[in-house]
Structure 1
Amino acid sequence: MRISTQSFYAQSMSSLGSQQQQLFRIQQQLAAGTKFLTAADDPVAAARALGLSQSMAESTQYATSRSRAMLSLSQEETALKSATSIMQNMKTLAVQAGNGTLSDADRASLATTLQGNLDQLVNVANADDGNGQFLFAGFKSGSQPFVAGAGGIQYMGDQGQRLMQIDVSRQMSTTDDGRSVFQSVQGGAGYVSSAGAGNTGSGVFGSVGVTDAGAANYGKDFVISFSGGNYTVATQDTPPVVAASGAYVPGAAISFGGLQITMSGAPADGDTFQVATARNAGTDVFAAIGELVTALRQPLAGSGEAAKADLLNALSTFNVKITNAHDNVLTVMSSIGSRMNELDALNTSGASRDLIDKGYLSELVDLDPASAISEFLQRQTSLQATQQTFARLHSIALFNYL
């Protein structure tokens, strides 16, 4: 079988072109550092690599979100640490104010100090993140949440929670609204006692104790009224229900609704005392501080036993309220700590997942330099040999042998 010169040339040129294309492809792979240059080279691997790349991009975005969430929670934690320190200082001042040897000037000085602490606490509640966004304003983060008005410190924010997507199926609140932090109490907070505004006697109440949480009227609000040397305890329902009554004995415990309270002094006819759940007794810590400041500024010299009783009752009410507020802030801080721990755990798991994805992507896409260079040299040598052979055959002619 004879092969024509034209056919020989065509086959040789086709072979040279194919080898050149293969060599060029290896060169492109070496330059790009990948096994395939287009999805057509390996459709399955290309699809898997695209999915992994998208997953890693999402993971990077989640990591960024977690970093921002951690910053926001850290700023809130720092602010609440300052708040707890201020509240603890207020507790100390309240204990000092109960010293019977203090003069009116001493109590006025303590009131001034308390007012300064109140101003500091308001400043903490109005803290921002450094970019003009207030930490405790809810969704209204562009406006100052707590504003002083005629009725005291008013909350102007809302109770919205700013959520951030920190993982595929996890959203986290990165802020807490000011009302939940500074104007709320925990569900387990105890009863709060307070004296009626129009009291004229010297009755002083002690702490409230729980004797039977299963009692019929437990959990309700009560009013203790005095008249003719007797007391009557009624619920604040409509109509009220009498929970207990009897002759008043100074220093003796009065039991009602699963509770027990000790009264001392001499209440006047018509004097009343409220014993209410913490949620109904007033949960605004700013208002509680303001009430104590007002009470401390009232002069006692020459005012009689009734004025002293009013101060002692005001101090007792404040101590319970500030303790409840302090406990509430500590609970919020505990929640912040839990969220920060979760962010740390998600960062750890996210880093591990990224490492696995990067390893798998490398197996799919990355080129083995050693084998690629070896293949490049082999194809280069083969192409050179083919070119030299074709050149020699191309120069052969019958006339060379005549």
Structure 2
Amino acid sequence: MRLSTANMFDASIANLQQRQELMQNAQQRLTSGKRVQTASDDPTGAARAERAGTAIGRVEANQRALDASRNGMTLSEGALGDANEILQQVRETMVSAGNSSYSDSERRGLASKIAELRNQLLSIANRPDGAGGYLFSGQGSSSPPFLDSAAGVRFNGVPGAIQTGNVDNFPLTVDGRQAWEQARTGNGSFVTGPLPNSITGASNKAWIDIGQVTDPSLLTGNAYKIDISGTAPAATYNVTNTTTGAPVASGPYLSGQAIQFDGISMAISGPAADGDAFDVQPSTSDLKIFDVLDKAVADLRTPNRSRNDITQSNALTLRDIDSAMNGLQNVRSQVGERLNNLDGTESRMASLKQYNQAEKSAAEDLDMTQGISDFQNQQTGYDAALKTYSMVQRMNLFQYLNP
């Protein structure tokens, strides 16, 4: 086979260019720290890195949604805490209003205080979330969710809660109706209250307490009526199941003595008059906080009430305030549990992100020690190619004949 000088020159230049390209690629890998810079470098590794990068993107999107949810839940939890503090002030004011030595003027002053606290509570119920919405707007509202009108405060939002819409579906808002308008009435199982005297039509001379459950297994969920007959010391009581019409219990009336039937117990106190009547209704989940406060203000502003009326009104108002506070506290506990869940989810997402970052790094990152070694090898090869080319370049007849 015949080899010409031109062939030797071409082969040397091709080898030199190839060495230069390999050294340049090694230098780029070393500079970027990436073993796989294009899919052609390693199709399998590039696919692994792409899948890991996509997973990291999903985790980061979920993290943003989680941060938004945490912000909303943190603000809601704080608002519910503020609301409970205000209701505690209202409760203390109602306890003071029960003082029998207070005049109507003093009670009107307490009513004004409760009215101011009620307005503060309304501001909390309409508290914005800092992102153009409201914490208690439910599934969204462009205006404050609670509207104050002559008929009272009513929920103007959409029941439910806005979710982030991702796989974990993080909550962004709290159901305002559940928080502010769906506390349990009465003591949570039944509701006691006065009825007009069946003979005179006036208010009762006695008053009834909030009652308690003595045996949950005996609860019927029916409604009852308690009638007082006669006068002391010969007064008696009769309990009728108004749902079925059947008599339930009867006995002599003694002020402050418990009346028990069908797993429940309550006490009627005071100088009961013939015809005094009371009812017992099943508890429902529709107690509205602002209705309770509006009624308390109206009662305190009513002049010339008897001591019995004041005692009965204050007892029922305190009962409803306690129920409202329990309802808010239950919602606050739910929000706190959601925050705990967010913390757990964030930890899980951090682990998932770390795993995918490690997977992406393993697929495309360069082993720096190996990269430096490869670059040095390519540099050595390139130097050798340069020397070889310079030697070949001098191998011609004219240089040989040159003295």
- Pair 1:39 & 2:31 matched: no
Choose the corresponding residue for 2:292, options 288, 294, 313: 288
- Pair 1:184 & 2:187 matched: no
Q: Report if the CA contact (8 A) 1:66-1:343 is conserved.
A: yes
Helix, strand or coil at the partner of 2:169: strand
Aligned partner of 2:353 in structure 1 is 354
Offset at 1:401? 5.0
Aligned partner of 1:311 in structure 2 is 310
Aligned partner of 1:68 in structure 2 is 68
The alignment covers a number of residue pairs equal to: 392
- Pair 1:156 & 2:156 matched: yes
| Mapped partners of 1:279, 1:67: distance in 2 | 36
For 2:317, the aligned partner's letter is F
Q: Report if the CA contact (8 A) 1:62-1:165 is conserved.
A: no
- Pair 1:175 & 2:180 matched: no
| Structure 1 residues 399 and 326: alpha-carbon distance in aligned structure 2, compared to 1, 3 A threshold | closer
- Structure 2 matches for 1:1-400, cutoff 5 A? 2-165=2-165, 169-185=167-183, 189-196=188-195, 199-215=202-218, 218-228=220-230, 229-237=235-243, 240-279=245-284, 283-300=287-304, 307-398=306-397, 400=399
Helix, strand or coil at the partner of 2:303: coil
Helix, strand or coil at the partner of 2:217: coil
Q: Report if the CA contact (8 A) 2:194-2:279 is conserved.
A: yes
| Mapped partners of 1:241, 1:136: distance in 2 | 45
Q: Report if the CA contact (8 A) 2:12-2:388 is conserved.
A: no
| Mapped partners of 1:157, 1:399: distance in 2 | 99
Farther off after superposition, 219-228 or 94-103: 219-228
Q: TM-score, normalised to structure 1's length?
A: 0.89
| Mapped partners of 1:376, 1:191: distance in 2 | 84
Helix, strand or coil at the partner of 1:233: strand
Which consecutive unaligned segments of at least 5 residues does structure 2 have?
Answer: none
Q: Report if the CA contact (8 A) 1:200-1:267 is conserved.
A: no
| Structure 1 residues 377 and 211: alpha-carbon distance in aligned structure 2, compared to 1, 3 A threshold | closer
For 1:233, the aligned partner's letter is V
| Structure 1 residues 142 and 91: alpha-carbon distance in aligned structure 2, compared to 1, 3 A threshold | same
| Structure 1 residues 42 and 379: alpha-carbon distance in aligned structure 2, compared to 1, 3 A threshold | same
| Mapped partners of 2:50, 2:120: distance in 1 | 54
Helix, strand or coil at the partner of 2:37: coil
Which consecutive unaligned segments of at least 5 residues does structure 1 have?
Answer: none
Q: Deviations over 1:222-246 (max 9, x none)?
A: 2223455543333343x54433344
Farther off after superposition, 104-113 or 181-190: 181-190
Offset at 1:308? 2.1
| Mapped partners of 1:152, 1:240: distance in 2 | 36
| Mapped partners of 1:171, 1:130: distance in 2 | 21
Q: Report if the CA contact (8 A) 1:193-1:273 is conserved.
A: yes
| Structure 1 residues 394 and 139: alpha-carbon distance in aligned structure 2, compared to 1, 3 A threshold | same
Q: Report if the CA contact (8 A) 1:288-1:322 is conserved.
A: yes
| Structure 1 residues 97 and 401: alpha-carbon distance in aligned structure 2, compared to 1, 3 A threshold | closer
| Structure 1 residues 122 and 398: alpha-carbon distance in aligned structure 2, compared to 1, 3 A threshold | closer
Q: Deviations over 1:186-210 (max 9, x none)?
A: 5982433222255433111124122
Offset at 1:56? 1.0
Farther off after superposition, 136-145 or 43-52: 136-145
Offset at 1:75? 0.8
| Mapped partners of 1:102, 1:23: distance in 2 | 97
Q: Report if the CA contact (8 A) 2:238-2:250 is conserved.
A: yes
Offset at 1:399? 5.0
% same residue: 30
| Mapped partners of 2:367, 2:397: distance in 1 | 49
| Structure 1 residues 231 and 32: alpha-carbon distance in aligned structure 2, compared to 1, 3 A threshold | same
Q: TM-score, normalised to structure 2's length?
A: 0.89
Across the aligned residues of Structure 1 and Structure 2, the Cα RMSD in angstroms comes to 2.4
Offset at 1:291? 1.3
For 1:223, the aligned partner's letter is K
| Structure 1 residues 289 and 241: alpha-carbon distance in aligned structure 2, compared to 1, 3 A threshold | farther
| Structure 1 residues 395 and 211: alpha-carbon distance in aligned structure 2, compared to 1, 3 A threshold | closer
| Mapped partners of 2:84, 2:101: distance in 1 | 29
| Mapped partners of 1:271, 1:152: distance in 2 | 31
